[in-house]
Amino acid sequence: MVALQETVERVKRIDVDQYRYGFETLIDSEKAPKGLSEETVKFISQKKNEPAWMLQWRLEAYRRWLTMTEPTWARVNYPKIDFQDIYYYAAPKPKKTVSSLDEIDPEILKTYEKLGIPLREVAMLEGIEPKVGEQDPAQRKIAVDAVFDSVSVATTFKAELKKAGVIFMPISEAIREHPELVQKYLGSVVPTSDNFYATLNSAVFSDGSFVYVPPGVRCPMELSTYFRINERNTGQFERTLIIADKGSYVSYLEGCTAPQRDENQLHAAVVELVALDDAEIKYSTVQNWYPGNSEGKGGIYNFVTKRGDCRGNHSKISWTQVETGSAITWKYPSCILRGDNSRGEFYSIAISNGFQQVDSGTKMIHLGKNTSSRIISKGIAAGKSQNTYRGLVTAHRKATGARNFTACDSLLIGDKCGAHTVPYIEAKNSSATFEHEATTSKISEDVLFYCVQRGLSQEEAVGLVVNGFVKQVLQRLPMEFAVEAQKLIAISLDGSVG
């Protein structure tokens, strides 16, 4: 009991000191006036030099948003958000058109350096030509788009991607340069009317990433976007749109961090994925927004709508997420299995500690014939946190031969936290095969003692057991990020590592 209590104590003490990314970058920034109105929407659209159709789209969303109310069905508690007390746009100054990294504020570059994100391609661009027989270095290359508050500050490897025909750029640029693609797909997976936060995002989103992979192309490198909220009282509303055309493949990763602040900050993103015939999209997230301090003060409110549409036959969309941050997480990356024989996957690790509240899960909507889906969710609750899995698996009347397998496992550390599982399963035809497994276990004192008797410290023992628990999901992440995520898990649960 003593050992377990110590572990619980250690875990409880985790707060601001443990959050490595809590620093603030001192730069000048340009903001929209506080609050939300048609003027704010117009201001953002104008800042982005958007065409008229885009402004119209935003204004429609805004007007609809005015008629909507915040959803309350999630198992999360927070004081009412004053949507007029938020800045909806903040951009680092000077805001010239940035054509190369040298024009970016060095402070911002330093920020990303501190975060361990390689925006400079120098190291990779020098001495590049692979020798015959050597592994292509492109396999280790990662193209990065960095979003700082409301704008994208740099996108790397653009030229090399262009050679392959892949478009990877800030969505604000894509709206100007590829309006036909954006108009065709934006809002086609998450319509502007979808839900309170998605509608808000449609009105005020300022940047995010845009990816288009042409037919038959296997994207030559991992694509990734790093989101950073820096400004005080600022909301971040990024919008990501990824289209994998017929027979193409792309793997995409997003990472998120924010400074530690006493107040709560709103993050309401929308991610839309479209996979056409035989295409595959693998989308991974390592979310480490500031979770708040040990008293539950501060932290990011993360209200995110992520949805993938397996629009084509034999298409596949796979979500992998490692969620360790945010005061509140409200997030259900989903798959619409529209094409026949399409497949959706959701692999999730959600860790909550301190006063964090997580309500996360997925929806698998089977519409096409012989569609299949797989859900593996691992929730770990420590401290005084609440961790809920909420999922929906549904088979349409015409979705004959639909199959789903779901496994939800929860691990509790200490006795002040909670784990909840809320699965909804609907089959509207008799040929659907749905399996659901759920377990909840406590990290047992006997297991910890066994480990320390073999010479491991308490922290090492907890880390080992937890990493064993989440291994199945961790394996789904691209190699580089699996290592990062493993460390993140150790930090999230380990009081002595700072």
Q: Is 320 in the site for other proteins (CB under 8 A)?
A: no
Q: Is 415 in the site for other proteins (CB under 8 A)?
A: no
Short-list 277, 460, 471, CA closest to 368: 277
With CB under 8 A as the contact rule, the residue among 136, 444, 480, 496 that binds other proteins is 444
Q: Are 317 and 353 in contact (CB under 8 A)?
A: no
* Comparison of 126 and 446: residue with beta carbon closer to other proteins: 446
* Comparison of 300 and 451: residue with beta carbon closer to other proteins: 451
Residue matched to tokens 């789903």: 404
Question: Which residues ranging from 13 to 32 are in contact with other proteins (CB under 8 A)?
Answer: none
In angstroms, what is the minimal distance from the CB of 3 to other proteins? 4
- Angle (nearest 5°) at CA 34 between 16 and 359: 45
In angstroms, what is the minimal distance from the CB of 441 to other proteins? 10
Give the interface segment with other proteins, choosing from 1-9, 216-224, 272-280, 316-324 (CB under 8 A): 1-9
- Angle (nearest 5°) at CA 288 between 236 and 448: 160
Report the alpha-carbon distance of residue 432 to residue 423 in Å, rounded: 17
Write each residue from 101 to 120 as x if it is in contact with other proteins (CB under 8 A), else as -, in one continuous string: --------------------
Q: Is 66 in the site for other proteins (CB under 8 A)?
A: no
Q: Are 473 and 349 in contact (CB under 8 A)?
A: yes
* Comparison of 258 and 451: residue with beta carbon closer to other proteins: 451
In angstroms, what is the minimal distance from the CB of 4 to other proteins? 7
Q: Are 196 and 69 in contact (CB under 8 A)?
A: yes
* Comparison of 68 and 456: residue with beta carbon closer to other proteins: 456
Write each residue from 445 to 484 as x if it is in contact with other proteins (CB under 8 A), else as -, in one continuous string: xxx-xxxxxxxxxx-x---xx-xxxxxx------------
Q: Would you give the distance in Å from CA 128 to the centre of its chain? A: 32
Give the interface segment with other proteins, choosing from 18-26, 78-86, 320-328, 443-451 (CB under 8 A): 443-451
Residue 300 to residues 22, 229, 262, 289, 407, Cα–Cα distance (Å) = 12, 9, 10, 6, 28
Report the alpha-carbon distance of residue 266 to residue 328 in Å, rounded: 10
Give the interface segment with other proteins, choosing from 2-10, 23-31, 106-114, 347-355 (CB under 8 A): 2-10
In angstroms, what is the minimal distance from the CB of 140 to other proteins? 22
Extract the runs of DSSP E, i.e. beta strands, from 191-269: 209-213, 222-228, 239-244, 249-257, 264-267
- Residue 449: HSE in the Cβ half-sphere, 13 Å Cα cutoff: 8
In angstroms, what is the minimal distance from the CB of 115 to other proteins? 28
What does the buried/exposed string (b/e) look like for 11-20 if buried means 16 or more CB atoms within 10 Å of the residue's CB?
bbebbbebbe
Q: Is 1 in the site for other proteins (CB under 8 A)?
A: yes
* Comparison of 336 and 349: residue with beta carbon closer to other proteins: 349
Phi, psi torsion values for 422, nearest 5 degrees? -125, 85
DSSP letter assigned to residue 97: P
Count CB-CB contacts under 10 A for residue 37. Answer: 12
The SS3 of residue 98 is: coil
In angstroms, what is the minimal distance from the CB of 188 to other proteins? 39
Report the alpha-carbon distance of residue 498 to residue 18 in Å, rounded: 5
* Comparison of 270 and 489: residue with beta carbon closer to other proteins: 489
* Comparison of 341 and 458: residue with beta carbon closer to other proteins: 458
Q: How many residues bind other proteins (CB under 8 A)?
A: 27
How do beta strands 280-287 and 264-267 pair? unpaired
Residue 110 to residues 25, 113, 124, 186, Cα–Cα distance (Å) = 9, 5, 18, 33
* Comparison of 279 and 462: residue with beta carbon closer to other proteins: 462
Q: Is 2 in the site for other proteins (CB under 8 A)?
A: yes
* Comparison of 419 and 470: residue with beta carbon closer to other proteins: 470
* Comparison of 69 and 453: residue with beta carbon closer to other proteins: 453
As beta bridge partners, residue 374 has 345, 405
In angstroms, what is the minimal distance from the CB of 424 to other proteins? 27
Q: Which residues make up the interface to other proteins (CB under 8 A)? A: 1-4, 444-447, 449-458, 460, 464-465, 467-472
